[in-house]
């Protein structure tokens, strides 16, 4: 045979081999394993979500690391949804590495997300460090030291993945969107004085209109035992801040009531895995109403919406499973502050802790000191984006930090998949990632953002590229 014929023959046999392997792959069953590990801290413990020290007095409902491992052929993925305000790299990285070591799942195929519940523990950030130092000064040691919690959390997240991996069993998939238009509101508003305001006063005559959209789509992925009608678990994603509980009891926020509502329809063993959608600028606060909905009602309403869509057949089986994972890193710069600005912010921190200054000023001081903490300790100058294909109609995107809703909408609009869940706060938490437009407009989320303008646009582009690659 001539060289060109040998090459042609090789190409042909390679094509056949690839064709056969793709054919086999589509026929291979999808397996899933689910495990929940409780991560509620001891009480009393500092709670997250606000700019002052709030100590827990008990537990409304336990907090969990909710893990799912997916397996098909040679491909595996693990997603962990933690009832936490966020998960920092100091937790997610060692947890992913240990889980990878114990299960063989590649680190880049593992995502550890926070749901952003505001009734979870405060265990990182410059504000956490300020409370810790003040307590240590006053008492000799900090009675609420979070170091043991952080170590235990890392282990528990890894344990959840290991346990889920050990319980793999065949599943069938369904996916689609439910529509929820009653619960979520863009919380930034154009005001008559030309400014953009976050959470303006209720019924303020100075409000013109919301400064951005919401995302009414509730992404739903259902897993069932083969041949069974009722699902055993659901990955559900909705873009609305989990800050609807308040008080001093630990709670998973509306995820708990959503789970209770879905268990009413699908049985007490049904498991809800909630991936928070891109809700950096979305919350439950209706500026036309004096009284706001709370977690129990919200979870129930969201659950009604999801259960209705499932029962009406809107969540559908869409072809053979085709599990695949892609991950990439996007370069990201932290904001820059002068020595003078850093010194001023540092001096303000005790006043933030004492609740002596306003919210925007407090957010600014926390942000500048947190940027310095990130620079000193760990920030690698890049952020990770992951995409998981479940079948040729369904994918899940995972992005770090609190992402503005416009990015989730843009990713979904450009996605070649019929159903795309875009989940935020994966693997790291650098607070808000606003759009370039929002950076120009200002207000709270911008004041409390640690990254340079343009970071979110880069993350969205990277996510869209991964989705196209997977399709
Ligand atoms: Zn928040």
**From ligand 1's centre to the CA of 283, what distance in Å?**
9
| Count of the separate structural domains present in the chain | 1
pLDDT higher than 80, residue 21: no
**pLDDT given for residue 438 in this prediction:** 98
pLDDT higher than 60, residue 10: no
**From ligand 1's centre to the CA of 137, what distance in Å?**
29
**From ligand 1's centre to the CA of 18, what distance in Å?**
47
**From ligand 1's centre to the CA of 85, what distance in Å?**
7
**From ligand 1's centre to the CA of 308, what distance in Å?**
29
Q: Per the domain annotation, does 121 fall within a domain?
A: yes
**From ligand 1's centre to the CA of 96, what distance in Å?**
25
Instruction: Tally the residues of the chain.
Output: 471
**From ligand 1's centre to the CA of 120, what distance in Å?**
11
pLDDT higher than 50, residue 340: yes
**From ligand 1's centre to the CA of 25, what distance in Å?**
41
Each residue of 259-276: pLDDT tens digit? 999 999 999 999 999 999
**From ligand 1's centre to the CA of 22, what distance in Å?**
43
**From ligand 1's centre to the CA of 27, what distance in Å?**
43
**From ligand 1's centre to the CA of 49, what distance in Å?**
6
**From ligand 1's centre to the CA of 99, what distance in Å?**
28
Cα-Cα end-to-end distance for the chain: 37
pLDDT higher than 60, residue 158: yes
Q: Per the domain annotation, does 446 fall within a domain?
A: yes
**From ligand 1's centre to the CA of 248, what distance in Å?**
16
Q: 5 pLDDT band (50/70/90 cuts)?
A: very low
Opening angle at CA 276, ends 270 and 277, nearest 5: 125
pLDDT higher than 80, residue 246: yes
Mean model confidence pLDDT for the chain: 93
- Which domain covers residue 186, as residue numbers? 29-334+370-470
% pLDDT > 70, the chain: 94
Positions of E strands within 93-216:
110-114, 169-170, 172-179, 185-186, 188-191, 196-198, 207-210
Q: 338 pLDDT band (50/70/90 cuts)?
A: very high
Q: Per the domain annotation, does 15 fall within a domain?
A: no
Chain centroid to Cα 175, Å, comes to 19
**From ligand 1's centre to the CA of 51, what distance in Å?**
11
**From ligand 1's centre to the CA of 416, what distance in Å?**
30
**From ligand 1's centre to the CA of 321, what distance in Å?**
35
Q: Per the domain annotation, does 306 fall within a domain?
A: yes
**From ligand 1's centre to the CA of 243, what distance in Å?**
7
**pLDDT given for residue 12 in this prediction:** 40
Structural contact between residues 79 and 67, judged by C-beta atoms closer than 8 angstroms: yes
Each residue of 207-218: pLDDT tens digit? 999 999 999 999
pLDDT higher than 70, residue 369: yes
**From ligand 1's centre to the CA of 339, what distance in Å?**
28
What's the whole-number mean pLDDT along residues 237-257?
97
**From ligand 1's centre to the CA of 116, what distance in Å?**
6
What sign does the CA torsion over 166, 172, 175, 180 have?
negative
**pLDDT given for residue 23 in this prediction:** 40
**pLDDT given for residue 27 in this prediction:** 63
**From ligand 1's centre to the CA of 281, what distance in Å?**
9
**From ligand 1's centre to the CA of 5, what distance in Å?**
63
**From ligand 1's centre to the CA of 398, what distance in Å?**
18
- Weakest-pLDDT range from 17-31, 112-126, 448-462: 17-31
- Weakest-pLDDT range from 197-206, 355-364, 459-468: 355-364
What's the whole-number mean pLDDT along residues 238-263?
97
Q: Per the domain annotation, does 16 fall within a domain?
A: no
Q: Per the domain annotation, does 349 fall within a domain?
A: no
C-alpha to C-alpha distances, 167 to 73, 100, 108, 300, nearest whole angstrom: 16, 16, 21, 29
**From ligand 1's centre to the CA of 407, what distance in Å?**
17
What's the whole-number mean pLDDT along residues 61-86?
98
The rounded distance, in Å, linking the Cα atoms of 345 and 349 is 7
Token pair 């997240």 is at which residue?
157
**From ligand 1's centre to the CA of 246, what distance in Å?**
12
Positions of E strands within 83-216:
110-114, 169-170, 172-179, 185-186, 188-191, 196-198, 207-210
**From ligand 1's centre to the CA of 143, what distance in Å?**
26
**pLDDT given for residue 256 in this prediction:** 98
Q: Per the domain annotation, does 346 fall within a domain?
A: no
Q: Per the domain annotation, does 108 fall within a domain?
A: yes
């Amino acid at each position: 045979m001539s060289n060109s014929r040998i090459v042609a023959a090789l190409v042909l046999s390679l094509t056949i081999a690839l064709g056969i392997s793709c054919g086999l792959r589509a026929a291979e069953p999808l397996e899933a394993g689910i495990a929940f590990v409780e991560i509620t801290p001891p009480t009393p413990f500092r709670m997250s979500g606000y700019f002052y020290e709030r100590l827990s007095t008990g537990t409304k409902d336990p907090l969990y690391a909710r893990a799912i491992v997916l397996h098909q052929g040679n491909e595996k993925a693990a997603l962990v949804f933690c009832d936490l305000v966020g998960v920092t790299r100091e937790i997610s990285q060692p947890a992913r590495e240990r889980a990878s070591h114990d299960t063989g799942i590649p680190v880049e195929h593992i995502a550890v997300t926070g749901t952003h519940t505001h009734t979870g523990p405060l265990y990182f950030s410059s504000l956490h460090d300020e409370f810790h130092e003040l307590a240590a000064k006053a008492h000799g040691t900090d009675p609420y030291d979070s170091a043991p919690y952080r170590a235990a959390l890392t282990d528990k997240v890894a344990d959840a993945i290991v346990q889920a991996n050990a319980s793999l069993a065949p599943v069938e998939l369904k996916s689609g969107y439910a529509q929820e238009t009653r619960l979520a509101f863009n919380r930034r508003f154009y005001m008559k004085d030309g400014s953009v305001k976050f959470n303006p006063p209720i019924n303020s005559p100075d409000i013109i209109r919301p400064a951005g959209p919401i995302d009414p789509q509730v992404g739903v992925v259902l897993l069932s035992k083969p041949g069974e009608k009722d699902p055993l678990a659901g990955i559900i994603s909705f873009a609305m801040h989990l800050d609807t509980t308040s008080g001093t009891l630990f709670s998973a926020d509306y995820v708990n009531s959503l789970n209770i509502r879905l268990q009413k329809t699908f049985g007490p063993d049904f498991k809800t895995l909630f991936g928070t959608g891109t809700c950096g600028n979305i919350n439950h606060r209706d500026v036309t109403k004096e009284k706001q909905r709370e977690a129990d009602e919200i979870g129930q309403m969201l659950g009604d919406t999801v259960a209705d869509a499932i029962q009406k057949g809107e969540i559908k089986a869409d072809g053979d499973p085709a599990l695949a994972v892609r991950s990439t890193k996007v370069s990201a710069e932290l904001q820059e502050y002068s020595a003078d600005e850093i010194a001023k912010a540092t001096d303000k921190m005790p006043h933030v802790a004492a609740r002596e200054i306003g919210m925007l000023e407090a957010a600014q001081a926390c942000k500048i000191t947190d940027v310095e903490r990130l620079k000193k300790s760990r920030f690698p100058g890049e952020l990770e984006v992951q995409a998981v294909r479940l079948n040729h109609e369904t994918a899940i995107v995972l992005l770090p930090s609190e992402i503005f809703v416009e990015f989730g909408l843009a990713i979904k609009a450009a996605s070649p998949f019929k159903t795309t869940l875009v989940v935020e706060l994966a693997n790291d938490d650098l607070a808000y990632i606003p759009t370039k437009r929002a950076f120009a407009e200002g207000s709270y989320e911008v004041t409390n953002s640690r990254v340079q303008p343009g970071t979110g646009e880069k993350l969205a582009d990277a996510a869209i590229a991964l989705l196209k690659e997977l399709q």
